[in-house]
Structure 1
């Protein structure tokens, strides 16, 4: 496995633990729809939350969440819509980002709720 894939996998594991600690119930991980993949789908209260995890070993070129661009947001919202239709989900939907910076093996986690909206 490449170093960046390993970093991404570690970031997702940290994000899941972080969200579960905050009371989220994880219902799916790495859910795929066509060319899109939703890292984490979770429930909390009456919300269905689609979470994009961004992990970086350095913030020299920007914060992790700054690497999420409009085409990827469009794919994620399309995948979220497909998930809701496929599983007949009617709750309110929210899109979050969990940005993780791992410097010297110490993770810094930032949870950005309502990071973006449907297109």
Structure 2
């Protein structure tokens, strides 16, 4: 497996562990709809957190959260609208990014709540 794929999988697991440690329930992982894949759907009380995980081996080329593009946001919103409708959920939806940067043998995890708004 390519190294960036391994980092992506490791990053998603680190994000899940982080969310669980912070009281979230993991509802779905890698939910797919149309052209979108939602990395993690988590719930904390009455908030459904849609979490995009961005893992990088270095921050030299910019912060991981800078790599979420408008088209990806649009696709995520569409997927989440479908998810909420199909599951008949009555929750507040929030879009988060968990940015992970590998620093030597350690990982720096940053949780950005309300990272972007759908429009």
When normalised by structure 1's length, the TM-score is 0.98
Equivalences for residues 71-86 of structure 1 within 5 A: 71-86=71-86
Q: Is the partner of 2:41 in helix, strand or coil?
A: strand
Give 2:93's aligned residue. Answer: 93
State the 1:86 CA deviation. Answer: 1.1
Give 1:33's aligned residue. Answer: 33
Q: What is the CA deviation profile of residues 14-56 of structure 1, one whole-angstrom value per residue up to 9, with x for unaligned ones?
A: 0000010000000100000011000000100111110000000
Question: Where in structure 1 do 4 or more consecutive aligned residues deviate above 6 Å?
Answer: none
Equivalences for residues 12-91 of structure 1 within 5 A: 12-91=12-91
Count of aligned residue pairs for this structure pair: 119
Distance 1:62 1:43 in 2: 29
State the 1:96 CA deviation. Answer: 0.4
Distance 1:62 1:85 in 2: 35
Q: Is the partner of 1:76 in helix, strand or coil?
A: helix
User: Could you list the runs of 5+ residues in structure 2 that have no partner in the other structure?
Assistant: none
Distance 1:108 1:41 in 2: 21
Distance 2:100 2:108 in 1: 6
Give 1:8's aligned residue. Answer: 8
